[in-house]
């Protein structure tokens, strides 16, 4: 098991494409839409040991958690939880966080609930599928109160 207390999130830059793009592809089986947005003041990306990443967009007193990914062979080791907690803890009190998650991603939904996120709405047919109907997105919110 990884010693997570010894792994600190580090910024992702556009220069990290050589290792980041394969990580994103392993997590989502598609091209990354976020790396090119780095450099815009409201977008940030962070990684833990090049095994997990999070991209966020912060404006004023709210942050959208755009995507979180962990290499499949490194899942269930606490990396996503550690990244989420780190992002939540670096914001000031009163800050709100929003995210969307595919309705069938029960593991992620349960993680977000444990972290204090609450479902606030659903986006019907938000995630297209290769076959069949598009899946709903569960929209969740976390308000940092202390």
**Torsion-angle region of 125 (φ positive above 0: left; ψ -120 to 50: alpha; else: beta):** left
Q: How many CB atoms lie within 10 A of CB 45?
A: 23
pLDDT tens digits for 21-33?
Answer: 999 999 988 888 8
- pLDDT (0 to 100) of residue 115: 96
Task: Domains for the chain: give ranges and CATH numbers.
Answer: 4-143 (3.40.630.30)
Residue 120 predicted with pLDDT over 50? yes
- pLDDT (0 to 100) of residue 93: 87
44 Cβ contact list (under 8 Å, min separation 6): 11, 38, 55, 56, 57, 58
- pLDDT (0 to 100) of residue 2: 47
- pLDDT (0 to 100) of residue 102: 95
The band of 40, judged by pLDDT with boundaries at 50, 70 and 90, is confident
- Cα 129 from chain centroid (whole Å): 20
pLDDT tens digits for 50-91?
Answer: 999 999 999 889 999 999 999 999 999 999 999 999 999 988
Alpha-carbon Rg for the chain, nearest whole angstrom, is 15
The band of 5, judged by pLDDT with boundaries at 50, 70 and 90, is low
- pLDDT (0 to 100) of residue 4: 52
- pLDDT (0 to 100) of residue 105: 95
Q: What average pLDDT does this structure show over 98-108?
A: 96
Quote the CA–CA distance of 125 and 142 in Å, as a whole number: 23
């Amino acid at each position: 098991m990884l010693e997570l207390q010894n792994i600190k999130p580090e910024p992702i830059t556009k220069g990290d494409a050589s290792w980041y793009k394969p990580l994103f592809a392993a997590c989502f089986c598609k091209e990354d839409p976020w790396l090119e947005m780095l450099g815009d003041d409201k977008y940030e990306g962070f990684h833990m040991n090049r095994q997990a990443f999070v991209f966020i967009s912060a404006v004023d007193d709210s942050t959208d958690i755009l995507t979180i990914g962990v290499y499949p062979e490194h899942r269930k080791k606490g990396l996503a939880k550690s990244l989420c907690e780190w992002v939540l803890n670096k914001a000031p009190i009163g800050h709100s966080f929003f995210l969307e998650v595919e309705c069938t991603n029960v593991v992620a939904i349960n993680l977000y609930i444990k972290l204090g996120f609450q479902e606030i709405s659903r986006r019907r047919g938000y995630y297209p599928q290769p076959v069949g109907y598009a899946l709903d997105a569960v929209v969740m919110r976390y308000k940092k109160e202390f």
